[in-house]
Amino acid sequence: MPKCGSQVLLCDLPIRLDSYTGCGHGCAYCFSRRNIDIMNIAGGESAITLERFILGARSAETTWCDWDIPLHWGGMSDPFQPSETDRRKSYEFLEIFAKHRYPVVFSTKGKVVAEPKYLDLIKQCNCAAQVSMVCKSAEMFEHYAPSFDDRVNIARALAPNVRRLIIRIQPYLPQYKREVLDLLSLYKEIGAYGVTIEGLKIFKRSGPLTVRIGADFCLPAEILKRDFVEIRRECHRLGLKFYSAENRLRYMGESLCCCGVEGIDGWAVNTANLNHIYFGNDAEFTEGMKLPCTGGCFNTFYQTKASRFSKNSYYENMMAFAKGKLGRNIYGISCEERNKNVQHIVAIAG
Ligand code: SF4
């Protein structure tokens, strides 16, 4: 069954789906390495439970979701990694997505997705695609993934067959800035709608420049911001949208939904999260989110308080986090400002 964990606090598409665990692309920076041996490939969720979700079934983590939220496919493993050639699990998923025309955004670097039989199916889906490619210099960290040039061809093949093509520039490092700027016109030419960008995150401190944000070590926001301003300007000059997947700089993007899927006809993302509470003033809580026992997805934060989170509504739990110190730790927002934001949303939500 599709899952929802800690990403619910910050993400407009927090319900995730993976057809595999592990990923044969073996990127050195992959955050799945935190929990698993990524070269140990196994099947992820099943096609049967995916279809049950699409037909309305929910788990304790997703019971708050009372509409056809677009799913994010490939958050922890590439759905079109080399194993797909033999196992064809993602092909099965595509058949289900095509049958129901259920909204989904997938992220990939994999070649198999550009094969004619996959493109034929993708054309029948209601999907957006993200192709991950930073620049040629980053290839050295993407040990078994297709080359940068191959990924350009994958993106080119996907563009006419999806509702939107977004280029993921993750993980960004300042030394890539010139290359990234020079590549934007190519992305425009192959049919990309926009780019989404995020700085490198690592598990251990590396050099004096990284700062601790939650469990990760990241580049300082002011360094990233300086580069993002230039990259955004060049995107706009070329007619590309710019999205910031960097939580601290999310407001720099065209939309707080950093996947680049805002405004796709018929797609409704989840705005009931901290980004929309703090920066958008437009967080919307559905009636389903205010029901008791819909806050189970918050259990990932504190296992010891799990039963309390489970009994609460999604709304109650999100508001408690919005008032709490996470807002200060991630965004540097003062207690007074957090309370003001929360009061505003409470007044709207009734
Ligand atoms: S392609 Fe994505 S999921 Fe696969 S190893 Fe690289 S970063 Fe991880």
* Mean pLDDT, residues 154-178 taken together: 97
Would the pLDDT of 305 be above 70? no
Say if 257 falls within a structural domain.
no
Specify the number of domains making up the chain.
2
- Same domain, yes or no: 86 and 222: yes
How many residues can be counted in the chain? 350
* Mean pLDDT, residues 103-124 taken together: 98
- Same domain, yes or no: 53 and 155: yes
Say if 326 falls within a structural domain.
yes
Say if 178 falls within a structural domain.
yes
Query: Predicted confidence band at 147 (pLDDT cuts at 50, 70, 90)?
Result: very high
Count CB neighbours of 152 within 10 A.
Answer: 19
Q: Pick the residue with more confidence: 282 or 49?
A: 49
Say if 149 falls within a structural domain.
yes
The confidence score (pLDDT) of residue 167 equals 98
Q: Which of 25, 132, 151, 202 is the pocket-test mutation for ligand 1 (most atoms within 8 Å of CB)?
A: 25
Q: Which of 33, 37, 76, 77 is the pocket-test mutation for ligand 1 (most atoms within 8 Å of CB)?
A: 77
- Same domain, yes or no: 74 and 29: yes
CA dist 312 and 308 (Å) reads: 6
- Same domain, yes or no: 138 and 280: no
* Mean pLDDT, residues 153-163 taken together: 98
Q: Pick the residue with more confidence: 223 or 304?
A: 223
Residue 293 CA, ligand 1 centroid: distance in Å: 34
For residue 56, the domain's CATH number is 3.80.30.30
Q: Which of 27, 33, 83 is the pocket-test mutation for ligand 1 (most atoms within 8 Å of CB)?
A: 27
Average pLDDT, the chain: 92
**254-259 own/partner pairs: CB under 8 Å, 24+ apart:** 254/194, 256/12, 256/280, 257/12, 257/13, 258/12, 258/196, 258/198, 259/12, 259/13, 259/72, 259/105, 259/128, 259/130, 259/166, 259/196
pLDDT in tens, 237-258: 999 999 999 988 999 999 999 9
The confidence score (pLDDT) of residue 208 equals 63
Axis-axis angle for helices 89-100, 116-124 (nearest 10):
30
- Same domain, yes or no: 242 and 281: no
Would the pLDDT of 88 be above 70? yes
- Same domain, yes or no: 63 and 120: yes
Comparing 115-124, 160-169, 198-207, the range with the smallest average pLDDT is 198-207
- Same domain, yes or no: 111 and 215: yes
- Same domain, yes or no: 199 and 138: yes
Say if 263 falls within a structural domain.
no
Atom of ligand 1 at shortest distance to CA of 38? 5
The confidence score (pLDDT) of residue 207 equals 66
Task: Please classify residue 74 by burial: count the beta carbons closer than 10 Å to its beta carbon, then call 0-12 exposed, 13-18 middle and 19+ buried.
Answer: buried
* Ligand 1 binding site (Cβ under 6 Å of any ligand atom): 23, 25-27, 30, 32, 38, 77-78, 109, 145
Q: Pick the residue with more confidence: 344 or 116?
A: 116
- Same domain, yes or no: 306 and 248: no
Count CB neighbours of 214 within 10 A.
Answer: 12
Q: Residue 340 belongs to what domain range?
A: 274-349
Would the pLDDT of 332 be above 80? no
Say if 267 falls within a structural domain.
no
The confidence score (pLDDT) of residue 349 equals 66
- Same domain, yes or no: 146 and 14: yes
Say if 10 falls within a structural domain.
yes
Would the pLDDT of 107 be above 70? yes
- Same domain, yes or no: 129 and 246: yes
CA distances, 70 to each of 16, 19, 92, 103, 251 (Å): 9, 16, 18, 5, 21
Say if 64 falls within a structural domain.
yes
List, in order, residues 6 or more apart from 313 with CB less than 8 Å away: 64, 289, 290, 291, 292, 293, 294, 295
pTM of the model: 0.93
- Same domain, yes or no: 223 and 188: yes
